[in-house]
Amino acid sequence: MPITPTDKIWMNGEMVDWDRAQVHVLTHGLHYGSGVFEGIRAYATDDGPAIFRLSDHIARMFDSARILGMELPYSHAELVDACKQVVAVNGLPSCYLRPIAYLGYGEMGLNTLPCSVDVAIACWPWGAYLGDDAVTKGVRMKVSSWTRHDHNTMPPAAKTTGNYVNSSLAKVEALNAGYDEAIMLAPNGLVAECSGENIFVARRGRLLTPPLSAGALEGITQSTVMRIADDLGFTTVVDNVARSDLYVAEEIFVCGTAAEVSSVNSVDDRPIPCPGPMTTAIAERYQEVVSGRVDGYEDWCERPV
Ligand code: PMP
């Protein structure tokens, strides 16, 4: 999806003009995938923009950095504040935010210990990742021929820039074959997640979603959905999902910050009932929650400065 430029990007503590937010071609992160990042959305609410679960996203960025052994040169509070400033200074009613920390310019080679850590935060307007009618019409999924890397190869629990080569291989394979999105299996053959979303699979009236141990990122939308489902009286279970669970599912949806809640209409050309009743109810409530219209969820709608 093309990026729409905005005014300012936060870079290492300063607001810089969009066009000047550049890095040197010998930046370590460009060569070795040595970075961690987040994807966050700010939504329009009656009281102006609210950044959904900002503190939780920044906490996950710190976890990703810890897994990599990378020390971020700012505190959690400083990065939360910087995200709020970026949204405020660009004056957007709603947007997508991309904080990234990466090993910088000055050192080359695989010893990352002497490398500097740079941090940047950009935001821009971004529409529905899997299309505007992804909830009602659903998306076509393909089980990827690419395997999600295992925990001792590239830790899938860390949102590391280099990890996403694996996701891109799967995404492009699915698109080239005429599908919308890829489902990734772990090395043991169990379902992990999608190239950029977690997955929920309805079986016998319950919603199953694979755990971190199956190679899934611990999605912030995944946990939001579990709370919403509970409010709505649906049972969710974090448990292993086999490939055949997909083919006989009563309904399937995928979820993530970018994709929000999107229904699935088929997996490997086997039709899935779509949009399912649980998917529809959860997708609708999700939009109300992120727009600050549901009591009890106010703490997750974080206001910019
Ligand atoms: N899995 C992967 C591989 C992702 O890239 C994302 C998007 N960050 C997700 C799951 C969903 O995570 P979240 O709901 O926190 O955006």
193 with 98, same domain: the answer is: no
For a substitution probing ligand 1, which of 159, 197, 238 has the most ligand atoms within 8 Å of its CB?
197
Expressed in angstroms and rounded, the spacing between residue 4 Cα and the centre of ligand 1 is 22
Closest by alpha carbon to 40, among 300, 283, 254, 284? Answer: 300
Q: Which residues, judged by CB distance below 6 Å to any ligand atom, belong to the binding site of ligand 1?
A: 39, 167, 193, 196-198, 217, 219-222, 256-257
Q: Which residue in the list 8, 84, 142, 159 is annotated as catalytic?
A: 159
Sequence-distant (≥ 6) Cβ neighbours of residue 63 within 8 angstroms: 157, 158
Tokens of 281: 């109810």
Report the candidate in 132, 118, 160 with the shortest Cα–Cα distance to residue 10. Answer: 118
Tokens of 226: 């579990």
Range of 38's domain?
A: 8-124
Output the residue whose Cα is nearest ligand 1's atom 9.
197
- 172 with 69, same domain? no
Q: Which atom of ligand 1 is nearest to the CA of 195?
A: 3
Q: Of all atoms in ligand 1, which is nearest to the CA of residue 221? A: 14
Whether 295 contacts 237, CB under 8 Å: no
Query: How many angstroms separate the alpha carbon of residue 256 from the centre of ligand 1?
Result: 5
Per the CB < 8 A criterion, the answer to whether 122 and 23 are in contact is no
Q: Residue 185: CB partners within 8 Å, gap ≥ 6?
A: 143, 144, 147, 148, 191, 192, 243
| 259 contacts 128 by C-beta, under 8 angstroms | yes
Buried b (16+ CB within 10 A) or exposed e, 136-164: eebbbbbbbebbbbeeeebbbbbbbbbbb
- Render pLDDT for 39-92 as a digit per residue (tens, 0 to 9): 999 999 999 999 999 999 999 999 999 999 999 999 999 999 999 999 999 999
Taking residues 184-195, what's their average pLDDT? 98
Q: Do 157 and 214 fall within a single domain? A: yes
**223 and 85 in one domain?**
no
| CATH at residue 94 | 3.30.470.10
**H or E element in which residue 164 lies:** helix 164-176
pLDDT of residue 254: 98
End-to-end alpha-carbon separation of the chain, Å? 28
Q: Separation of 254 CA from ligand 1 center, angstroms?
A: 10
8 Å CB contact between 252 and 280: no
**What are the pLDDT digits (tens) for 24-43?**
999 999 999 999 999 999 99
137 among known catalytic residues: no
Q: How far is the centre of ligand 1, averaged over its atoms, from the C-alpha of 216 (Å)?
A: 8
- The pTM (predicted TM-score) of the whole model is 0.97
| Three-class secondary structure of residue 206 per DSSP | strand
Q: Are residues 190 and 244 both part of a single domain?
A: yes
Q: How far apart are CA 62 and CA 218, in angstroms?
A: 14
Torsions phi, psi for 23 (to 5 deg): -125, 160
- Which of 124, 155, 178 is a domain's end point? 124
Q: What is the pLDDT of residues 231-245, one digit of tens each?
A: 999 999 999 999 999
Same structural domain, 164 and 277? yes
Nearest-atom number in ligand 1 for the CA of 257 is 16
Atom number, ligand 1, closest to the C-alpha of residue 38: 8
Place 136 in a pLDDT band, splitting at 50, 70 and 90: confident
Number of domains in the chain: 2
